[in-house]
């Protein structure tokens, strides 16, 4: 396997392109592929050397484990040691979909994928191209988001190319991601679901399907590893502003020069260098968030002001990503 591809090809996710991508994976190479959450950077999950290439390509710390993508419960059985009644309820309700489960790992999953943990994170994506790719390979695919470590997650093939050009052999282009934020991660080893990372599936919906209330990460199940650090950050500074400030047209520091505004509430103040209003509900805001961070960066904005949302439902995932993008 050549260590690093010099040229990255982008191909529309046709059946022929999916077959080609599966062949790249089979040889131990990397492929970026669309999912309903964000684009993933995939490698064979049962191949430690292939999984290590993911960390190198992203510049990702080796203690931040990957998510294993399967096409259903049969393949899941090769990835985990056992399931739990809680996991089975959640899978029945949400798979395929944007829900990742943490369970005890099987002996087939290498340390490179789990960061040496006894657990593994696993998900069955809903995107047709992602499912076709897993099926074509016939094996699970380990994949974190297909961005350089620390940057906003990619929601289009162009975002992936910008970060990983020359670092990945092939990008399957399946258009913009429908959800736009990463999956919710639930530790499903116990009786109650432990929310390790909020996603676009709301905690209320997860609790309802689980038949049990959500537990917060404690000492037994610490928050998901990658969620501790500054993350999701564009090259510009991100400052959070309240809806009331936007309504009043009162955002200190916002000016025509090198500043930007991402918002939902109508704005009648002076126009900054970059402004994007996302009309519609919270799902639309979630879907547009990472692309807007990257677009502001392209406009050479130095400070991007971003409107906050209420910290519940989908808003919980939006605020989780926004707070970390704004961390300095």
Q: Which stretches of the chain bind ligand AMP, using CB under 6 A?
A: 64-67, 102, 114, 117, 119-121, 144-145, 182, 185, 196-197, 224-227
Neighbour tally for 221: CB within 10 Å:
18
Minimum CB separation from ligand AMP for residue 249, in Å? 36
Smaller CB distance to Mg ion: residue 94 or 232?
A: 232
Give the containing element (helix H, strand E) for 186: strand 184-187
* Cβ–Cβ under 8 Å, residues 274 and 295: yes
Alpha-carbon distance of 289 to 170, in angstroms, equals: 25
Smaller CB distance to Mg ion: residue 136 or 233?
A: 233
| Intra-chain end-to-end CA distance of the chain, in Å | 39
Report the partner that residue 36 touches, choosing among ligand AMP, Mg ion, none (CB closer than 5 to 8 A by kind): none
Smaller CB distance to Mg ion: residue 145 or 202?
A: 145
Give the containing element (helix H, strand E) for 78: helix 73-79
Give the containing element (helix H, strand E) for 89: helix 85-94
Helix (H, G, I), strand (E, B) or coil at 267: coil
Helices (H), 214-327: 243-248, 282-298, 314-326
> Helix 15-26 and helix 128-137: axis angle, to 10°?
50
Distances (CA, A) of 99 to 116, 183, 200: 22, 5, 9
Report the partner that residue 114 touches, choosing among Mg ion, ligand AMP, none (CB closer than 5 to 8 A by kind): ligand AMP
Report the partner that residue 308 touches, choosing among ligand AMP, Mg ion, none (CB closer than 5 to 8 A by kind): none
Minimum CB separation from ligand AMP for residue 120, in Å? 6
Smaller CB distance to ligand AMP: residue 66 or 288?
A: 66
Alpha-carbon distance of 123 to 185, in angstroms, equals: 9
The site for Mg ion (CB under 5 A) is made up of 144-145
Smaller CB distance to ligand AMP: residue 20 or 182?
A: 182
* Cβ–Cβ under 8 Å, residues 286 and 316: no
Minimum CB separation from ligand AMP for residue 301, in Å? 25
Minimum CB separation from Mg ion for residue 61, in Å? 11
Minimum CB separation from ligand AMP for residue 253, in Å? 31
Residues in the chain: 328
Smaller CB distance to ligand AMP: residue 197 or 275?
A: 197
Which residues have a Cβ under 8 Å from the Cβ of 106 and sit 6 or more positions away? Answer: 78, 79, 80, 81, 120
Report the partner that residue 64 touches, choosing among ligand AMP, Mg ion, none (CB closer than 5 to 8 A by kind): ligand AMP
Residue nearest ligand AMP, CB atom distance = 226
Alpha-carbon distance of 224 to 312, in angstroms, equals: 19
Minimum CB separation from ligand AMP for residue 100, in Å? 6
Report the partner that residue 67 touches, choosing among ligand AMP, Mg ion, none (CB closer than 5 to 8 A by kind): ligand AMP
Minimum CB separation from ligand AMP for residue 113, in Å? 8
Smaller CB distance to ligand AMP: residue 55 or 274?
A: 55
Report the partner that residue 234 touches, choosing among Mg ion, ligand AMP, none (CB closer than 5 to 8 A by kind): none
């Amino acid at each position: 396997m050549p260590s690093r591809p010099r040229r990255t090809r982008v191909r529309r996710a046709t059946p022929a392109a999916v077959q080609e991508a599966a062949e790249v994976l089979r040889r131990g190479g990397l492929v970026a592929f669309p999912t309903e959450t964000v684009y993933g950077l995939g490698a064979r999950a049962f191949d430690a050397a292939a999984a290590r290439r993911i960390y190198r390509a992203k510049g990702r710390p080796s203690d931040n484990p990957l998510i294993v993508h399967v096409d259903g419960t049969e393949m899941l059985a090769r990835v985990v040691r056992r399931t739990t009644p809680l996991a089975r309820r959640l899978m029945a309700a949400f798979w395929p979909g944007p829900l990742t489960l943490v369970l005890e790992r099987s002996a087939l999953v290498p340390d490179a994928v789990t960061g040496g943990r006894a657990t593994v994170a696993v998900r069955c994506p809903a995107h047709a191209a992602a499912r076709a790719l897993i099926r074509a390979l016939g094996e699970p695919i380990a994949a974190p988001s297909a961005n350089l470590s620390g940057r906003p997650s990619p929601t289009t093939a162009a975002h992936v190319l910008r970060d990983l050009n020359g670092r990945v052999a092939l990008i399957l282009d399946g258009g913009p991601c429908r959800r736009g934020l990463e999956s919710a991660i639930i530790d499903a080893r116990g009786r109650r679901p432990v929310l390790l990372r909020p996603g676009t599936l709301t905690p209320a919906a997860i609790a309802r399907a689980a038949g049990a209330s959500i537990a917060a990460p404690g000492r037994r199940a610490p928050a998901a590893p990658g969620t501790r650090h500054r993350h999701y950050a564009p090259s510009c500074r991100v400052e959070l502003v309240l809806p009331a400030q936007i309504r009043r047209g009162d955002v200190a520091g916002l000016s025509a020069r090198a500043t930007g505004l991402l918002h939902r509430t109508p704005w009648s103040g002076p126009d900054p260098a970059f402004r994007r209003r996302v009309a519609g509900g919270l799902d639309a805001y979630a879907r547009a968030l990472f692309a807007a961070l990257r677009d502001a960066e392209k406009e050479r904005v130095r400070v991007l002001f971003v409107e906050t949302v209420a910290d519940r439902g989908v808003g919980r995932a939006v605020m989780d990503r926004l707070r970390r993008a704004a961390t300095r």
